[in-house]
A and B are shown apart, each in its own frame.
Chain A
Amino acid sequence: MAAVATPNSIEASTGDQALVRLEGIRRHFPVYRGNLLRKHTGTVKAVDGISINIMPGQTYSLVGESGCGKTTTSRMLLMADKPTDGDIYFDSRPMNQFSGAERRNFRASVQAVFQDPWSSLNPRMRVDQIISEPLVTHQRLSRDAVRGQVQELLQVVGLHPFHAERYPHEFSGGQRQRIAIARALSTRPKLIVLDEPVSALDVSIRAQILNLLKELQATYELSYLLIAHNLATVRYMSHMVGVMYLGKIVEESPPIELFTDPQHPYTKALISASLPAHPRQQREEIVLTGEVPSPLDPPGGCAFHPRCPFVMERCATDIPVLREYQPGHATACHLYD
């Protein structure tokens, strides 16, 4: 139940109960033509029936190319958008039945850190205001208590208490991302949505931030929904990975199995396109023909079939379902039927 629990509550650590469960989530955007006589001309299926479990204290990563629906999924989780169909369960309670108190609790329990710390922090606010804004919104605290919490949060993310009185422009990218993380932590969340948290940062800073996120996860038993397109980062951070293509999850597995034994041809192509760590390292090159099709008019059958190097006849007509072919490793592809 959605009791006001501390992040490291004991019940949350037992394995088989998901903190967040998405079940058959769809988000369809209607497309209209004309202003006066609006005509419904099509539907963009940004997210088209995905089900995932985010376990307490673990990282679930969504990977896929731009437009595959990763961010739309995270927006629904942040209550910035509503699914057209399907249910989101938080601590086993369906989100669409939340009471007002549950809703407030949920909003405090789910926070986000975005890609670009230059645009995600208000330049006119001081760091202590930025960090304490969610605190003030969600809790009634004395001014001293707020100040104390800000100081503590700054230290937790590796900044100094005197940074509280500065403005965002006085910080480097890495430090700004630390501020964004401190703000996200301020309400003692259970889940943080990380949308490309390091891709706008300098290379030498990325490892610092990734390590910080890992340490925080271990200390506060945080769950993360990580959206990233760097597969090596995903492997480093995740406990579970979902590969998305045109609004659907085409493969889901723990990272080691996914990257050592990818099954779906699209996953294989993504891995083959990622850059090597050493000049002598050769990857099997899988060249995809064409581009990601428009989500307005997705291909029938398996959405990937027009680009798939292993395409078969039935791929054009039958929609493959996500099925476990090995324990814990599910794929939506007819090749494995």
Chain B
Amino acid sequence: MTNDLILQVEDLQTHFFTRTGVVKAVDGISFELRRGETLGIVGESGSGKSMTAWSILGMVPHPGRIVGGSINYLGENLLEKSRGEMRDIRGSGICMVMQDPLTSLNPVFTVGDQLVETLRLEYDEPKRSLRQRAVDLLANVRIPAAEERLTNFPHQMSGGMRQRVVGAISISRAPNLLIADEPTTSLDATIQLQYLRLLKDIQEQTGAAIIFITHDFGIVARMCDRVAVMYAGRIVEQSDVEDMFDYPAHPYTEALLQSVPDLDTDVDMLPSIEGQPPSLDALPEGCSFAPRCPYAWDKCRDYPDEFTVADRHTSRCWRSE
């Protein structure tokens, strides 16, 4: 892993201005990402993990707005870019890879047309050479008989193939950063594995950094170098991946890791987390996890600072003070 920084998010705040008040979906988060590195952003629904992704892409939906902080991509602050510049960056530098191959391709165009359409943005070349590039791309993601496949419509391909086509489109303009947002309802294990392998493949070929937006620690364990755990709009713990699994510092991380059943051990009763994730328009004072936390004490009425618990490992919990 080299040391060049691709993304540096600092004190990012994305708020939603609704009729009933301000919802702080992302409330001051910071992290960085280097070339070839994979970061997992783990959280439950409403934790702000997806909104972090949309913020980086400059696609925060109405009535949301980025109200503070900075997103530095290759040394430039994305928040100062115009819409047109952002559109360009989205296509070429930062790329979203959808997990669901069925909905990401247009059913009425051939796979070749869709690839060429993307490539035309990058290369000012005649159609024939663009088609050749498309063939190379498909071959890169290991689609056999790539040339014939160009004339296929998406429905003529299997799910795994379509996934690869989506992968090919996303690497067609040599991205530096891939964002993989995973829907809550999961795919079959074997299909998911194929998708994860494809992303690793792409990463090896392009050296891109990857951000995984996920609720699943299994994906983090398999894919990531770094992990950031989000709860109610904030990163509550952040560290290298093995450190997090070995020494979780935040009670939320600890409880979450324990509450997931393990395929290789037997337990009678899983330790579970009481209560439910808080709704963002009615957050408790102080630490937002305190109402569900078995260790909560007086001090938790103030929001905890970020404490360093080990090398490259921080936690927002007063117990780590």
Contacts and interface: CB of A to CB of B under 8 A. Distances in A.
A186 B206 CA distance: 57
Interface in A268-296: 269-271, 273-281, 288, 291
A113 B133 CA distance: 50
B110 interface: no
Interface stretch (B113-121, B148-156, B167-175, B272-280): B272-280
Contacts of A279: 220-222, 224, 241-242, 245
Contacts of A278: 221, 245
B106 to A, nearest CB: 22
Interface string A179-217: 000000000000000000001101111111011001000
**A204, A232, A235 pick with most chain B CB within 10 angstroms:** A204
B221 A207 contact: no
Interface string B239-261: 00110010000000001100111
Interface in B221-246: 221-222, 224, 241-242, 245
B264 interface: yes
B310 to A, nearest CB: 16
Nearest to B192: A273
Interface residues of A, number: 42
A207 B184 contact: no
B263 A274 contact: yes
A8 interface: no
A259 B189 CA distance: 15
Given A204-B255, A275-B218, A291 B158 contact: yes
Contacts of B191: 65
B221 A275 contact: yes
Nearest 9 pairs of A and B residues by beta carbon? A275-B218, A207-B272, A207-B259, A236-B261, A232-B261, A202-B44, A273-B189, A207-B270, A273-B193
A207 B260 contact: yes
A235 B261 contact: yes
B39 to A, nearest CB: 14
Contacts of A66: 188
Contacts of B219: 275
A276 B135 CA distance: 35
Given A211-B270, A278-B221, A291-B160, A273 B190 contact: yes
**Interface residues of chain A: helix, strand, loop or mixed (majority):** helix
8 contacts: A199-B185, A202-B44, A210-B261, A229-B188, A270-B189, A271-B263, A275-B219, A291-B159
A231 interface: yes
Contacts of B273: 204-205, 207-208
Interface string B160-203: 10000000000000000000000011101111110000000000
Contacts, number: 120
Interface of B: 44-45, 158-160, 184-186, 188-193, 215-222, 224, 241-242, 245, 255-256, 259-264, 266-267, 269-274, 276-277
A175 interface: yes
Nearest to B218: A275
Contacts of A96: none
A79 B271 CA distance: 36
B206 to A, nearest CB: 22
B215 A65 contact: no
A210 B262 CA distance: 13
B277 A231 contact: no
A236 B241 CA distance: 25
A250 to B, nearest CB: 14
A65 B190 contact: yes
Nearest to A212: B272
Contacts of A210: 261, 270
Given A206-B259, A291-B160, A235 B266 contact: yes
Contacts of A236: 261, 267, 270
Given A200-B185, A231-B189, A172 B276 contact: yes
A304 to B, nearest CB: 12
Contact of A277 (B190, B193, B263, B274): B263
Contacts of B260: 203, 206-207, 232, 277
Contact of A269 (B159, B190, B221, B255): B190
A281 B190 contact: no
Interface string A51-85: 00000000000000110000000000000000000
A277 B185 CA distance: 19
A208 B272 contact: yes
